[in-house]
Amino acid sequence: MRFFVPTDIYVEKNCVKNHAQNMLSVGTRALIMTGKYSAATNGSLDDVTDVLNTGRVPFLVFNEVEENPSTDTLRKAARSAMDFKADFVIGIGGGSAIDAAKAVALLLANPYVDPDDLHKAPNRPLEHAPIIAVPTTCGTGSEATPVAIITNHKIHLKKSIPHIIFPVLALVDGKYLATAKKQLIVNTAVDALSHMVESILNVKSNTFNRMFPEYGLKLWGECKDALLANGNVDASLYEKLMLTSTIAGMSIAHTSTTLPHGMSYDLTLHAGVPHGPAVGYFLAAYTEICAKFVPDDVKKILSLLGLKDIGEFTTMLQNLIGTYSVTREMRDQFAAAMKENRSKLDLVPGKITPEDVDSIYEKSLTLV
């Protein structure tokens, strides 16, 4: 049994300012990676640049990270980082900006690696420049995971890259959620929920790493009514939602994700569905299949969430993210690919059959 999360993580209001010295000690020239707008409008970019300016650390802002970052964007950002002679990378934003920052930190330390080859297994573990993560969505927990999910459009692949890249420092402040639309908060909270459920319903689940999702699911259950209610989420819950997301990241840092995440990638890649709902559509049916293998774990998850049974779990998810329809051809293609995906299938805590996989798709995606 092993426990390992090497990131220095702070979760508190005004976190970036409070830990300015930690940030300034990481490097001497920073590449800041963000999406197009959100970091500039929610205050996170200003908080970070204020600290860097005070510490006289030169920085360059690359604000072109798209949702589900691509190898093409990484190539452009890595070139900018190298030209600027950056020696550390700060990812500010949702999982897309943070994952992109991780991959660029790897490219920075290994200039001979082509971004299009990032999904190939390396011959030896590769170094990376240090990364600081400042999350602004409450979903991926990327600030506490070693994973970067990257899309290579040339080979139609969205997948994690096989490199271990933990940020050195994570500064988590719920206040950045103030600019997020309700559905973004809901979508990303469903992602965090999936991380915790998939971490428990997982062969790698053990006593150490269960502490995280079990506590996080309780916190998530406390936010559930606010997520389901009409109207905006009250600001008093922002910090709890962010903390839950970071805890969910710590959960998958130990176990990785299983089928719902494996299934989501095709839905995002081929149908453009945002990450949280793309995962959430599969979550109840996966949980139901796992009830055959680990019934006590499923009972525990439902009780921590304050739910009676799988039926209530299904209804709650539908109320949060709705349902999604695809063509029969698409669904069959996705299912066929999933049945070959040993890296995810082998994490299911029981002997899952091809029929089980079909049944998850049938229950999760309706037909157009």
Residue in the shown chain whose Cβ atom is closest to Zn ion: 191
Question: What distance lies between CA 323 and its chain's CA centroid?
Answer: 21
Cα–Cα distance, 231 to 332 (Å, whole number)? 37
Q: Which residues of 241-254 are buried (b: 16+ CB within 10 A; e: fewer)?
A: bbbbbbbbbbbbbb
By the rule CB under 6 A, 99 interacts with ligand NAP: yes
- Contact between 86 and 97 under an 8 Å Cβ cutoff? The reply is no
Q: Which stretch binds ligand NAP (CB under 6 A): 7-15, 94-102, 300-308, 338-346?
A: 94-102
- Contact between 16 and 48 under an 8 Å Cβ cutoff? The reply is yes
By the rule CB under 6 A, 179 interacts with ligand NAP: yes
Query: What is the enclosing helix (H) or strand (E) of 194?
Result: helix 182-200
Nearer to ligand NAP by C-beta: 176 or 334? Answer: 176
Quote the least distance from Cβ 27 to Zn ion, whole Å.
Answer: 28
Binding mask 6-45 for ligand NAP (x = CB under 6 A): ----------------------------xxxxxx--x---
Cα–Cα distance, 286 to 298 (Å, whole number)? 10
- Contact between 335 and 358 under an 8 Å Cβ cutoff? The reply is yes
* Interface residue with ligand NAP, options 70, 188, 202, 209 (CB under 6 A): 188
- Contact between 278 and 260 under an 8 Å Cβ cutoff? The reply is no
Phi, psi of 220 (to 5 degrees): -60, -40
Within positions 186 to 205, which residues make up the interface with Zn ion, using CB under 5 A? 191
* Interface residue with ligand NAP, options 70, 137, 199, 287 (CB under 6 A): 137
- In the list Zn ion, ligand NAP, none, the entry touching 37 (Cβ below 5 to 8 angstroms by class) is ligand NAP
| Amino acid letter, 229 | A
Quote the least distance from Cβ 160 to Zn ion, whole Å.
Answer: 10
- In the list Zn ion, ligand NAP, none, the entry touching 115 (Cβ below 5 to 8 angstroms by class) is none
Cα–Cα distance, 186 to 194 (Å, whole number)? 12
Nearer to ligand NAP by C-beta: 49 or 291? Answer: 49
- In the list Zn ion, ligand NAP, none, the entry touching 198 (Cβ below 5 to 8 angstroms by class) is none
By the rule CB under 6 A, 208 interacts with ligand NAP: no
Q: Which stretch binds ligand NAP (CB under 6 A): 2-10, 20-28, 90-98, 302-310?
A: 90-98
* Interface residue with ligand NAP, options 70, 71, 73, 140 (CB under 6 A): 140
Within positions 249 to 288, which residues make up the interface with ligand NAP, using CB under 6 A? 275-276
Q: Which stretch binds Zn ion (CB under 5 A): 184-192, 234-242, 312-320, 352-360?
A: 184-192
Burial class (CB in 10 A: 0-12, 13-18, 19+), 307: middle
Quote the least distance from Cβ 21 to ligand NAP, whole Å.
Answer: 25
Question: What distance lies between CA 328 and its chain's CA centroid?
Answer: 28
The number of CA neighbours under 13 Å toward the Cβ of 152 is 15
Which two structure tokens, joined as six digits, stand for 343?
């890296």
Nearer to ligand NAP by C-beta: 38 or 291? Answer: 38
* Interface residue with ligand NAP, options 49, 70, 73, 136 (CB under 6 A): 136
Cα–Cα distance, 184 to 147 (Å, whole number)? 22
Q: Which stretch binds ligand NAP (CB under 6 A): 53-61, 124-132, 173-181, 212-220?
A: 173-181
SS (H, E, C) 339-362: CCCHHHHCCCCCCCCHHHHHHHHH
3-state SS assignment for residue 89: strand
By the rule CB under 6 A, 246 interacts with ligand NAP: no
* Interface residue with ligand NAP, options 31, 61, 62, 68 (CB under 6 A): 68
Query: Nearest Cα to 227, choosing from 181, 287, 281, 288?
Result: 181
Which two structure tokens, joined as six digits, stand for 233?
């989420």
Q: Are strands 131-135 and 88-93 parallel, antiparallel or unpaired?
A: parallel
Q: Which residues bind Zn ion (CB under 5 A)?
A: 191
Task: Please give the residue ranges that form the binding site for ligand NAP (CB under 6 A).
Answer: 34-39, 42, 67-68, 93-97, 99, 136-137, 139-140, 142, 145, 147-149, 176-177, 179-180, 184, 188, 191, 275-276
